[in-house]
Structure 1
């Protein structure tokens, strides 16, 4: 799919991605979407995912898991 400056695409009847400017290798996009839709650059999204994973691992309590497994096995 190709778009020129000022042209856009519509996603799922509610998200519009518009080419605002093209400056050399850089394409500037304008995005209109419902507030419930998160929009991030890919590198920011990946950093958020990595931090969330690290937080989940930091909150992991192996003793709690052992106790839960022991109770579920009837021990």
Structure 2
């Protein structure tokens, strides 16, 4: 795992097409803005896990 420190307004680049920008930090929260091509799905991990569980359930039917 890569751990990177960033200040508000700074960006992390993933590959050629994905940027993650630190929008705000405060009260124990970090807010990110993510720019990615439409064909790249971007989800919070809890949502991603739910999507994968639903896909598995549909396959198992």
TM-score (structure 1 length as normaliser): 0.74
Equivalent residues in 2 for 1:1-75, closer than 5 Å: 1-58=4-61
Larger RCO (alpha carbons 8 Å, 6+ apart): 2
Whole-angstrom CA distance in 1 between matches of 2:59 and 2:41: 21
Task: Choose between structure 1 and 2: higher strand proportion.
Answer: 2
Q: Which runs of 5+ in 2 are unaligned?
A: none
Q: How many pairs align?
A: 58
* Stretches of 4+ aligned residues off by more than 6 angstroms: none
Task: Choose between structure 1 and 2: higher helix proportion.
Answer: 1
Q: Please identify the structure whose Cα radius of gyration is greater.
A: 1
Cα root mean square deviation, aligned: 0.6
TM-score (structure 2 length as normaliser): 0.90
